Structure 1
Amino acid sequence: MGIQDVIEGKRRWRAHMARVKALPPDYQIVYKEMQRYLFKAGPIDLFDGSSLSGIIDFFEEGVATGKGVLELVGNDVAAFCDDLIKDSRMGRPPRAARPESRRPRSAPPAPDRSETGRDGARW
């Protein structure tokens, strides 16, 4: 990746964010939540087809028809995002679809302090 690729990527990103800022405030809020969720989902191509640019196209159509953003995506924005990336090559829902064995374990139980001192030493 050369410097020209970096410059082109920044130019595309700034144009992309200018489109976001042109949306009504409620659309911007939902878009930013979707963006945060998708960034946590892992490596997916964010400028391809049903990705962030496609979401903005979808939102712009919704604004043009006068629909509210929740009418388009529903009340569960995370589920909407999961549906977007389920067919992606590398995308996966963050945490929700991970096997139970890969989730963090809960903390071990606290020691019984009735027979030990503050530092854990026996009386």
Structure 2
Amino acid sequence: MRIQDIIEGKKEWRAHVARVKALPQDYQIVYKEIQKYLFKVGPVELTDGTGLLSGIIDLFEEGAALRKGVLEVTGSDVAAFCDDLIKDSKTYADIYQESVDQEFNKAIKSTDANP
């Protein structure tokens, strides 16, 4: 990764954070909880810029502009909202599980080949 890429990434992140801070307080609170949840669950797309998170901010900005409460936008179960957002996304847990499965299958084949 080039230094220019790092600098550009920091600029993008600062702009992203500024958008979050411009949201109404209730939206900011829910956004931060969503962010923590997604960082914990680990969808791979989160490392590819801020696409998913920016999409959430877009949705929140639209909801705020329409004077909707944040839970009118997400629904009362925010974790389910997050899960629905990433249901088709590959997570780091998925990648890890695949690697464990591959190692297990190699071990089984090795055992089967050497009775």
Pick the TM interval, shorter chain.
Answer: 0.7 to 0.9
* 2:91 paired with 1:91: yes
Q: CA deviation at 1:43?
A: 4.1
Question: Is 2:42–2:91's contact at 8 Å kept on the other side of the alignment?
Answer: yes
- The equivalent of 2:45 in structure 1 is 45
CA RMSD of aligned residues (A): 1.7
Distance 1:85 1:92 in 2: 12
Q: Which runs of 4+ in 1 moved over 3 A?
A: none
Identical pairs, percent:
71
Q: CA deviation at 1:41?
A: 1.1
Q: CA deviation at 1:22?
A: 0.1
* 2:60 paired with 1:59: yes
Structure 2: state its 5+ residue gaps: 98-115
Q: Deviations over 1:66-108 (max 9, x none)?
A: 10000110111111000001111x2379xxxx9xxxxxxxxxx
Q: CA deviation at 1:2?
A: 1.1
Distance 1:39 1:32 in 2: 10
Question: Is 1:85–1:92's contact at 8 Å kept on the other side of the alignment?
Answer: no
- The equivalent of 1:31 in structure 2 is 31
- TM-score norm. by structure 1 comes to 0.69
Structure 1: state its 5+ residue gaps: 99-123
